[in-house]
């Protein structure tokens, strides 16, 4: 390996070379904190030197050599086909360019004799063409706008680089205005000389292009690290000849997929790669951990991917798995945000915060899977079903659930659609057996385990969710539109949201129904059979009312609430037909006590069986 170090000041740094932004580099992502830190360091050193030598009558161009130099770290380049690429350091070099642009504007007001020198450090002239030494070709017009208009510059490209160029220039402009007042020409002149002559960077030029990925990774394992996906970019694209990156579209594939992922949320690309790697290459819980944190090293070592020193394998990965699964991941995030009638459970799982559905669906789908839509639907349905049935039967344990899902993931990996439900049911049955301490169960849905489900066994957000699912089931059966969305019913709280309402109010009359046994009263009224959802104001107004008064509040609220009211059945023939067809014991209740709670609990057991298509 041949790395050539070279000490350079700004004078020699920005002189004859145009610096291209290599594919290894991020966009210009520095924000206020690193920009201000750089400015603080530069001005701290300058001011200590200016105190020593600023009063001298010797011309600054002769006196500047007395000012101590200040080290600004390294930057790394490589040269290919006569063009110089920045492998590492463009954040710092770009910020130096913005500082020079600000100094150029101040030259107009303070010392025009320095302006030509400063301008030559910003850009060079070739015939009539002006080229910035820092060649951000995708944000060139924004940089030009800053060069021409300063803080009044407008955004010309919708890139991260362009946005940060604008924002950081304004930070720099304000800083330098405070540090270099227009009234102090001598201080300004000294700073310009100091900035151009005494700031020193060490240039490392990697002459063997095959060594660039290794150098890039080592450098970025220290200091302010790149994200793992950014290192992966360098390690993968660095193996492909530069003339193929654009001509064969590999750069475009990477940027398009990463753009879609990071549009979901910042640095979502890392979440995608971890999900993909777990989905395809994890077989045990301990395996899963190797893709946590900085996953880029174990990813390169996955033998099946052929990524390590294998340009052919890299090209295949980019064109196939990376492109397909990144787009599938982005699609699943879209489905998570809004209910889709073809696969609503993706949305439901998002409400339940079951992020594991991403891993499971990616595991089930093979590259360019013709059954992709069916697999998305069945996997998301089975995950929601398994989670809810475990919760409702007091069989859920978060650690056991996570371990069970690893078994499911392995079992459904690239499996045919018809094999998927069996893997979920096998896992579900195993977890119920272990939790209940039994050797065998006849069904994954057992009333003895469900009988006491309610506020003492379930949290309120989950209760709101399952009652929202009942509301949807009843609305479909009655052939009416659901009055409030699943998301609103499950997640909206406070005055405009929905609250868990006890049908039996806490009063002496109702306690008498349980022979004034306080413990029994609380136990029974906390069962699901005694619970409804009401909007905030309705819930507050009906809290202590007797049952007959509560019935009036339920009219016009939710359909599950209205099934207690006799008029509901008279006005809805479709609901009556649906009840009859499904042989449900659903009826209006004129009074409400222990027997009625049990009746409603048993009815919910039947309804949940229909929601999740389970045999009792």
> Could you report the per-residue pLDDT of 155-209, keeping only the tens digit for each?
999 989 999 999 999 999 999 999 999 999 999 999 999 999 999 888 887 765 5
Measured between alpha carbons, how far is 597 from 530 in angstroms, rounded to an integer?
Answer: 6
* DSSP per position, 209-271: GGGHHHHHHHHTTSSSPPPHHHHHHHHHHTTS-HHHHHHTTHHHHHHHHHHHHHHHSTTHHHH
Is 539 a residue whose pLDDT tops 60? Answer: no
Is 69 a residue whose pLDDT tops 90? Answer: no
Q: How confident is the model at residue 246 (pLDDT cuts 50, 70, 90)?
A: confident
Which residue is associated with the tokens 């789908």?
365
Least confident of 218-227, 374-383, 412-421, 537-546: 218-227
Closest CA to 393 of 428, 354, 355: 428
Task: Quote the pLDDT of residue 221.
Answer: 47
Is 292 a residue whose pLDDT tops 90? Answer: no
Is 230 a residue whose pLDDT tops 80? Answer: yes
Q: What average pLDDT does the structure give for the chain? A: 90
Residue 506 structure tokens: 């806490």
Task: Quote the pLDDT of residue 615.
Answer: 81
Helix axis angle, 268-281 relative to 323-337, nearest 10°? 110
Q: How confident is the model at residue 41 (pLDDT cuts 50, 70, 90)?
A: confident
- Strands (DSSP E) found in 14-140: 19-21, 70-80, 83-88, 123-126, 129-132, 134-135
Task: Quote the pLDDT of residue 222.
Answer: 44
Q: What is the mean pLDDT of residues 261-285?
A: 94
Q: Under a CB-based contact definition with an 8 Å cutoff, are residues 103 and 189 in contact?
A: no
Instruction: Give pLDDT tens digits for 8-30.
Output: 899 999 988 899 886 655 689 89
Instruction: Give pLDDT tens digits for 91-132.
Output: 999 999 999 999 999 999 999 999 999 999 999 876 667 789
Q: How confident is the model at residue 403 (pLDDT cuts 50, 70, 90)?
A: very high
Is 224 a residue whose pLDDT tops 60? Answer: no
Is 216 a residue whose pLDDT tops 60? Answer: no
Task: Quote the pLDDT of residue 288.
Answer: 80
Instruction: Give the list of residues 6+ apart from residue 59 with CB closer than 8 angstroms, or none.
Output: none
Measured between alpha carbons, how far is 91 from 199 in angstroms, rounded to an integer?
Answer: 16
Strands 3-9 and 134-135: unpaired
Task: Quote the pLDDT of residue 22.
Answer: 66
Is 1 a residue whose pLDDT tops 50? Answer: no
């Amino acid at each position: 390996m041949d790395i050539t170090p070279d000490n350079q000041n700004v004078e020699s740094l920005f002189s004859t070379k145009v610096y291209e932004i290599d594919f290894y580099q991020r966009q210009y992502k520095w924000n206020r904190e690193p920009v201000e830190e750089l400015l603080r360091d530069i001005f701290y050193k300058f001011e200590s030197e200016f105190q020593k030598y600023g009063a001298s009558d010797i011309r600054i161009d002769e006196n500047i050599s007395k000012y101590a130099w200040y080290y600004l770290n390294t930057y790394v380049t490589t040269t290919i086909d006569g063009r110089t690429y920045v492998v590492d350091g463009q954040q710092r070099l770009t910020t130096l360019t913005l500082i020079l642009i600000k100094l150029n504007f101040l030259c107009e007001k303070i010392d025009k004799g320095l302006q030509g020198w400063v301008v030559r450090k910003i850009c060079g002239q070739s015939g009539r063409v002006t080229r910035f030494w820092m060649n951000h070709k995708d944000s060139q017009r924004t940089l030009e706008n800053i060069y021409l208009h300063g803080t009044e510059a407008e955004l010309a490209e919708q890139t991260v680089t362009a946005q940060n160029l604008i924002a950081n220039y304004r930070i720099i402009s304000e800083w330098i205005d405070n540090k270099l007042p227009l009234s102090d020409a001598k201080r300004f002149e000294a700073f310009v000389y100091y900035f151009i002559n005494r700031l020193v960077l060490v240039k490392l030029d990697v002459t063997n292009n095959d060594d660039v990925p290794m150098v890039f990774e080592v450098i970025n394992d220290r200091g302010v690290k790149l994200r793992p996906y950014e290192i992966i970019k360098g390690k993968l694209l660095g193996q492909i000849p530069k003339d193929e990156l654009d001509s064969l579209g590999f750069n475009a594939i990477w940027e398009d997929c990463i753009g879609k992922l990071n549009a979901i949320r910042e640095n979502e690309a890392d979440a995608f790669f971890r999900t993909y790697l777990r989905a395809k290459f994890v077989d045990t819980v301990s395996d899963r951990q190797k893709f946590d944190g900085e996953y880029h090293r174990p990813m390169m070592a996955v033998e099946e991917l052929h990524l390590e020193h294998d340009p052919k394998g890299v090209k295949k990965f980019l064109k196939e798995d990376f492109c397909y699964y990144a787009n599938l991941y982005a699609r699943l995030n879209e489905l998570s945000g809004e209910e889709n009638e073809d696969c609503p459970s993706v949305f439901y799982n998002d409400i339940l915060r079951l992020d594991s559905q991403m891993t499971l669906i990616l595991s089930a789908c093979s590259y360019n899977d013709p059954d992709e839509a069916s697999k998305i639907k069945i996997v998301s349905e089975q995950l929601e079903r398994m989670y809810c049935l475990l919760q409702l039967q007091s069989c859920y344990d978060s650690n056991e659930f996570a371990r069970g899902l690893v078994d499911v993931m392995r079992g459904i990996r690239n499996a045919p659609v018809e094999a998927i439900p069996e893997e979920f049911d096998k896992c579900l049955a195993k977890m119920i057996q272990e939790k209940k301490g039994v050797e065998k169960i006849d069904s994954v849905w057992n009333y003895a385990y469900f009988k006491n489900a309610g506020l003492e066994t379930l949290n309120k957000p989950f209760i709101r969710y399952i009652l929202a699912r009942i509301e949807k089931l009843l609305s479909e059966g009655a052939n009416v539109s659901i009055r409030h969305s699943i998301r609103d019913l499950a997640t909206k709280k406070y005055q405009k949201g929905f609250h868990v309402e006890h049908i039996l109010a806490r009063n002496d009359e109702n306690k008498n129904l349980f022979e004034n046994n306080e413990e029994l009263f609380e136990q029974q009224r906390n069962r699901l059979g005694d619970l409804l959802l009401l909007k905030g104001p309705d819930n507050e107004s009906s809290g202590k009312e007797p049952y007959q008064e509560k019935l009036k509040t339920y009219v016009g609220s939710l359909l599950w609430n209205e099934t207690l009211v006799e008029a509901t059945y008279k006005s809805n023939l479709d609901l009556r037909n649906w009840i009859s067809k499904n042989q449900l014991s659903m009826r209006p209740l004129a009074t409400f006590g222990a027997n009625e709670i049990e009746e409603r609990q048993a009815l919910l057991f039947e309804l949940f069986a229909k929601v999740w298509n389970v045999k009792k």
